[in-house]
A = this chain, B = another copy of it.
Amino acid sequence: MARSMHVRRPATLASLAAELGVSRTTVSNAYNRPDQLSPELRRRVLDTARRLGYPGPDPVARSLRTRKAGAVGLLLTENLSYAFRDPAAIGFLEGLALACEDAGTGLLLVPANPEREDVASVHRAGVDGFVVYSVPDDDPHLAAVLERPVPTVVCDQPDLGTVDRVGIDDRGAMYELAKHLIGLGHRRVGVVCMRLARDRNDGFVTPDRQHAAHFHVQRNRLSGLAEAFSEAGVDWSQVPVVERFDHNMASGASGAAQVLDKDPQITALICTSDVLALGAMTEAARRGLRVPHDITVTGFDGIRAGEEAGLTTVRQPVLEKGRAAGKLLLDANERTRPRSVNLATELIIGKTSGPPRGGAEERWFGP
């Protein structure tokens, strides 16, 4: 009776060994190396464990001893829950989860609130490696990860030269998309892009801010556009580029509105993501602009909803990207690090791009 009044101190491997009158090695073997002891003894150990309420070797203590956590950490730029809102991020997560599953490894989502500079969560993460997905290049969490003595793979980030990297050719892909628009005859265009840095700037973007953008992906997509249009004789510094901090359709819509208010003459609205482009389409519709007859709208990513809308975009293999990141991290071959993987993208000509209004006629009368 009195016994049950005590807070029963949970049994440990040592206490179990003592109870059984065997060594700790034997108990450990009963769990980890069944072939190292007789079946009867093993039974006896396991039975006694059950009787004493011993839940098996403590995973943390085991990790300390074996120097293996059995998990990889994932660092995202956004509030953790953002990952479950953005279709491209979900695809990436799925691919990464697939790779982890194959390896029997856990996937730890590290809470890295971009608002706070608190990197303790990175220090606290008991993981065998990190995947860093699309964070600004000056993010303190990224710096904290790089200081941890575990392998790291960065994704949609600049090549650091010191850790593995997987990504796509954002610049080249956007350049190609721009060439398509230029071929159609577009010269007067506007751009809606995602956040370029950690500070909120919902408005027009100066050329300086474009160049200095801390998000690798956005910087390169813009630079691909600038290059293509500059080559076509367009003064890029005069092109309205609008930035939005939050990544959702509402941002796409309001961004499009801001661009169109500034220059109602533009013939194409180039968005740096499908989600923004979908939002831009709703704004176009709201203004009675037919796509692509009155205005061309393009995206980037190749998400399902964009496909259904017939969006002209660049499709990137988000799931493969996640899987590749996981594979890279879990492939322990240190000798070949650091590695850099570029995945292929595909320009999708949908039904949201066409010649500028009047553009076709110009051709009829052209040289």
Contacts and interface: CB of A to CB of B under 8 A. Distances in A.
A149 B107 contact: no
Contacts of A61: 64
A80 B109 contact: no
A63 to B, nearest CB: 5
Given A79-B101, A80-B98, A81-B98, A111 B121 contact: no
A90 interface: yes
Interface string A172-211: 0000000000000000000000000000000000000000
B111 A100 contact: yes
A70 interface: yes
Contact of A55 (B53, B56, B111, B149): B149
Contacts of A100: 80, 109, 111
Interface string A54-81: 0111111111100001110100000111
A148 to B, nearest CB: 6
Contact of A101 (B10, B91, B93, B113): B113
A94 B98 contact: no
Contacts of A93: 84
A331 interface: no
A21 to B, nearest CB: 24
A91 B84 CA distance: 7
Given A61-B64, A147-B56, A149-B10, A121 B97 contact: no
Nearest to A53: B149
A234 interface: no
Contacts of A55: 147-149
A97 B69 contact: no
A110 interface: yes
Contacts of A91: 84
Contact of A64 (B10, B60, B70): B60
Contacts of A120: 104
Contacts of A69: 60, 126
Contacts of A349: none
Interface string A118-130: 1011011110000
A108 B108 contact: yes
Interface in A140-158: 147-149
Given A55-B147, A55-B149, A106-B110, A97 B71 contact: no
A105 interface: yes
A93 to B, nearest CB: 5
A83 interface: yes
A351 to B, nearest CB: 20
A101 B113 CA distance: 8
A248 to B, nearest CB: 13
A104 B94 contact: no
Interface of A: 10, 53, 55-64, 69-71, 73, 79-81, 83-85, 90-91, 93-95, 97-98, 100-101, 104-111, 113, 118, 120-121, 123-126, 147-149
Given A84-B93, A105-B111, A108-B109, 5 more contacts: A53-B149, A70-B124, A71-B126, A104-B118, A109-B109
